[in-house]
Amino acid sequence: MRRRSKRILAGIGIIIIGLGTLYAVALARSTAKLREAYAALEKDGRPMNAADVTPAKVPDEQNATILYKSAAAMLKAQVTQEGNLLKRLGELSSAPFKKSDDPDKLARYKQEVAELERLMAQDVVVQAISTIEQGTQRPACQFFNGNANHGLSLEAPGMEDLRDLIRVVGTKVHFEAKVGRHQKAWDMIPTLLRFADGPRNEPSVGSQFTRTAMINYSCGTIQTLCETAPPDNEDYSKIDGLLAGMDSVEPLVRAIDAERLLLGEWLFNLPDDELFEMLRKNPWGMKDTEPGLPYRLTFRFATFRPRFIADHAAYLQIMSKSTRLLQSPYVPRESQEYKEIERLTGHNFVSDKLAPMVWGIQWFYCRTTAAVRMTRAGLALLQYRQAHGAWPQSLDALDLKKVIDPFSQQPLRYRAEGEGFLVYSVGEDQKDDGGIAEPLERRGSRDMIWRFPEAKTK
């Protein structure tokens, strides 16, 4: 009996030693991966300390955000049947541009336009737009509150309000042009562009996605406004000067570095109980994960020390690879580089929570860059025709810098079309389709275009 007990105890001891050895090996390997990830970041010259990426505090009297929040608050305080006024104005902002051959849909769109006109005429909307205009005259715009200690929110508070506010300003531009006040409409475009570029220094990827979306919207507004009346020389100079700096990749690169240091490093160093609560929160504002048994088991596996350290290393790799992609020529999303980022994201629990948007950031940046450069080229073409009475043979005649297609690294495509022109980017598929616009339901499958004047539907 004693021999049997000794054999059992010896077997248990061997198992414990074996498991301990396996644990030590796994821990050593994951720790080595983490050291390699940090070394790669340092080799690339990326900032390594939170202090290096933390924006300096902006005094309230210089901060445009204070006024933007005030404008949003006064609109949200007004209630409509469908919700608060700000949200409803954002929902209706596309109504003037909707088209359909269906009589019922067309009638509904006309009703939406009538509602939008009625709501935009309210004094509170006029006051909100005036407040935004005042904000764009301030030297800084800062939503970041000085620390990343507000959960897994990768998007600064107020970004959703900004998206609706810029639609309110854009709608005002459209209505001014519609009633023939073209100069008033063009006078508002610098406000629109400064407002769109406001979150330039926000230290999160989500905020930069909002900024680039607002810049895209502003470019679309400018292109539409040109249909009623082109800008004069003075307006053109102001607008081109503002657009010229909006295709810089630096705000996005800084945001990746800041998010890694201010949010990622903070989270990976949280105690387990705090980490559990943080990880179950949805970073995009949707319903939080219920802390049931499946999630608790997943959490325990994810925070097993060797596994957790490997996850940390994967997160650093994802952020490093995303930075490199942003600073390199366009790479299609089906490429090996993106597959590797997707693999690292999908196989690591914490990284999947922290970096779900990063894999597509280069694509989003290139679309915004294409929109900015197409808009600059189109505006310059309109100025050229006003000065010379005809369209130029090529974009070279415009003496514009940086009108390279970010998707092809070649000049934007251009051709004169009678009384109008076509400027376009080859788009995500990197194929020149001759200026055939991409369908909304299949973005990236065709060219990104600006056709002036817009082709009229029957």
Q: What is the pLDDT of residues 398-408, one digit of tens each?
A: 988 778 999 99
> Which pLDDT score, from 0 to 100, does residue 284 have?
46
- Does the residue 38 lie in any domain? yes
Q: Is the pLDDT assigned to residue 440 strictly greater than 90?
A: no
> Which pLDDT score, from 0 to 100, does residue 273 have?
83
Q: What is the mean pLDDT of residues 164-181?
A: 96
137: tokens are 């005259």
Using one digit for the tens of pLDDT, what is the confidence trace for 211-264? 999 999 999 999 999 999 999 999 999 999 999 999 999 999 999 999 899 889
Q: What element of type H or E holds 238?
A: helix 233-243
Q: Is the pLDDT assigned to residue 356 strictly greater than 70?
A: no
Q: What element of type H or E holds 449?
A: strand 448-452
- Does the residue 452 lie in any domain? no
Dihedral (Cα; 379, 385, 391, 397), 10-degree rounding: -70
Q: Is the pLDDT assigned to residue 139 strictly greater than 90?
A: yes
> Which pLDDT score, from 0 to 100, does residue 150 have?
46
- Does the residue 312 lie in any domain? no
- Nearest 5°: the CA angle 139, 141, 146 is 120
Q: Is the pLDDT assigned to residue 457 strictly greater than 60?
A: no
Q: Is the pLDDT assigned to residue 349 strictly greater than 50?
A: yes
Q: Is 191 helix (H, G, I), strand (E, B) or coil?
A: helix
Q: SS3 helix, strand, coil % of the chain, rounded to 5?
A: 65, 5, 30
How far is CA 372 from each of CA 214, 339, 375, 388, rounded to the nearest angstrom?
A: 11, 28, 5, 24
Q: pLDDT band for position 445 (50/70/90)?
A: low
Mean model confidence pLDDT for the chain: 87
Q: pLDDT band for position 151 (50/70/90)?
A: very low
Residue type, 273: D
User: Please, is 8 exposed, middle or buried when counting C-beta atoms within 10 Å of its C-beta (0-12, 13-18, 19+)?
Assistant: exposed
Q: How many domains does the chain have?
A: 1
**226 vs 356, more confident:** 226
Q: Is the pLDDT assigned to residue 195 strictly greater than 80?
A: yes
**% of the chain with per-residue pLDDT over 70:** 89
> Which pLDDT score, from 0 to 100, does residue 113 have?
93
Q: Which of 59-73, 113-127, 313-327, 426-440 has the lowest mean pLDDT?
A: 426-440
> Which pLDDT score, from 0 to 100, does residue 26 have?
77
Q: What is the mean pLDDT of residues 350-362?
A: 79
Q: What element of type H or E holds 375?
A: helix 361-388
CB within 8 A of 53, min separation 6: which ones?
Answer: 47, 203, 254, 257, 258, 261, 262
- Does the residue 55 lie in any domain? no
The Cα–Cα gap between 404 and 119 comes to: 41
Using one digit for the tens of pLDDT, what is the confidence trace for 12-68? 777 777 667 777 877 889 899 999 999 999 999 999 998 899 888 899 999 999 999
- Which range marks the domain in which residue 9 is found? 2-43
Using one digit for the tens of pLDDT, what is the confidence trace for 284-308? 444 556 667 777 787 787 788 888 9
Among 316, 425, 429, which Cα is nearest to 378's?
Answer: 425
The Cα–Cα gap between 379 and 368 comes to: 17
Q: Is the pLDDT assigned to residue 383 strictly greater than 50?
A: yes
Q: Is the pLDDT assigned to residue 419 strictly greater than 80?
A: yes
- Does the residue 14 lie in any domain? yes
- Does the residue 33 lie in any domain? yes
> Which pLDDT score, from 0 to 100, does residue 152 have?
42
Strands 420-425 and 413-417: antiparallel
Using one digit for the tens of pLDDT, what is the confidence trace for 88-102? 999 999 999 888 888
Q: Which of 14-28, 113-127, 425-439 has the lowest mean pLDDT?
A: 14-28
302: tokens are 């994810």
Strands 448-452 and 79-80: unpaired
The Cα–Cα gap between 141 and 150 comes to: 20
- Does the residue 267 lie in any domain? no
For residue 453, cis peptide bond before it (omega within 30 degrees of 0): yes
Among 144, 131, 190, 222, which Cα is nearest to 423's?
Answer: 222
Q: What's the pTM value of the predicted model, to 2 decimals?
A: 0.90
- Does the residue 319 lie in any domain? no
